[in-house]
Amino acid sequence: MYVSYIPQIMNNLSGVKGNPLQPLCAALNSILWVSYGILKPKKDWPVIIANLPGIVLGLITFITAL
């Protein structure tokens, strides 16, 4: 799902800006899931690993869309 941000990042960098709200919400969602995985008594590594790209790509997409 988060790989779909790569073309949007490329468009943002080439001057065709997208809406920054959706990737910001996706990044916040991923931050919450990673926090949940880390804060569990027994760390939930699949949840953490699956959502780390969402934080990185969501924030990059948001920043380049501004």
Digit-coded pLDDT (tens) for 7-41: 999 999 999 999 999 999 999 999 999 999 999 99
Query: Is residue 50 one of the residues assigned to a domain?
Result: yes
From the list 38, 48, 44, 2, the residue with the least C-alpha distance to 23 is 2
Query: Is residue 6 one of the residues assigned to a domain?
Result: no
Query: Is residue 31 one of the residues assigned to a domain?
Result: yes
Domain hosting 59: range is: 17-65
Tokens 């065709």 belong to: 16
Q: How many domains does the chain have?
A: 1
* pLDDT for the residue numbered 1: 84
Query: Is residue 22 one of the residues assigned to a domain?
Result: yes
From the list 30, 24, 26, 36, the residue with the least C-alpha distance to 65 is 24
* pLDDT for the residue numbered 54: 97
Query: Is residue 7 one of the residues assigned to a domain?
Result: no
Give buried/exposed letters for 7-23 (b at 16+ CB in 10 A, else e): ebbeebeeeeebeeeeb
Class of residue 50 by CB neighbours under 10 A (exposed 0-12, middle 13-18, buried 19+):
middle
* pTM for the predicted model, two decimal places: 0.92
